[in-house]
Amino acid sequence: MDQAAVDRVLSAQEFFARARSRLTLDVPAGLTDPKIVPKRGDHDADPVMAKIADVRPIRPAAVLVPVIERDEPVVLLTQRAAHLPAHPGQISFPGGKIDKTDKDPSDSALREAEEEIGLDRSFVEPLGYLDLYMTTLGYRIVPVIARVKEGFALTLNAAEVDSAFEVPLSFLMSLKNHQRHSREWQGLTRHYYAISYGERYIWGVTAGILRNLYDRIYSS
């Protein structure tokens, strides 16, 4: 694909139309079925991670990928609280485990977004699910692409989130900003996707989900 196609900027209207036409809100197969190995996950950038994840207990989860409807659409991201025992300070999407009381993964993601950053679900329209994403620790994450109307106000839960910020969708969807990095993890050299935005370092699961977003919405 040529660079012009790679860096094509979609308007909010074009992006949401593509999301509606290419995605569905059907619960992905494999969310709880150990016989089905998700196509996407940490193993995208590092195939050995699939074998590690395969022996972990399955942990169903969902995250909200909030795309704010503006002249230039932006993605709302959070920075996890520095005091958290798991993944402190990392860039993430609002989300967490799927509770038994949640109607479906989109309900889980909306609930978590309300709890973490105070995003009122009346401003949010779920459009569809990306591919199920499997992590090394056994999480099977359903990313929920959502249209967010302007006019909302955020109230951050300091127990979970240090900050929330926006990144232009066009920046995140430009392949020239997608990198593959590595670091030592439990005695192994782990490879993963990463995107640097100013002083923000988006990597691991979050960058992997953004890569899947590119593949599903921007690839022809």
Block residue for tokens 């993890």:
185
Residue 118 CA: distances (Å) to CA of 61, 152, 189: 19, 9, 37
Q: Are 108 and 102 in contact (CB under 8 A)?
A: yes
DSSP H or E run through 74:
strand 74-80
Q: Which amino acid is at 165?
A: F
pLDDT of res. 82: 87
- The span from the CA of 28 to the CA of 8, in Å, is 29
Higher pLDDT, 85 or 147: 147
Higher pLDDT, 105 or 219: 105
pLDDT of res. 41: 83
The 10s digit of each residue's pLDDT in 35-71 is: 888 888 877 666 665 666 566 678 999 999 999 999 9
Q: Name the fold adopted by 3-218.
A: Nucleoside Triphosphate Pyrophosphohydrolase (3.90.79)
pLDDT of res. 35: 86
Q: What is the mean pLDDT of the chain?
A: 89
Q: Are 65 and 172 in contact (CB under 8 A)?
A: no
DSSP string, 57-70: PPEEEEEEEEEE-S
Q: Are 76 and 148 in contact (CB under 8 A)?
A: yes
Q: Is the dihedral of CA 113, 114, 119, 124 positive or negative?
A: positive
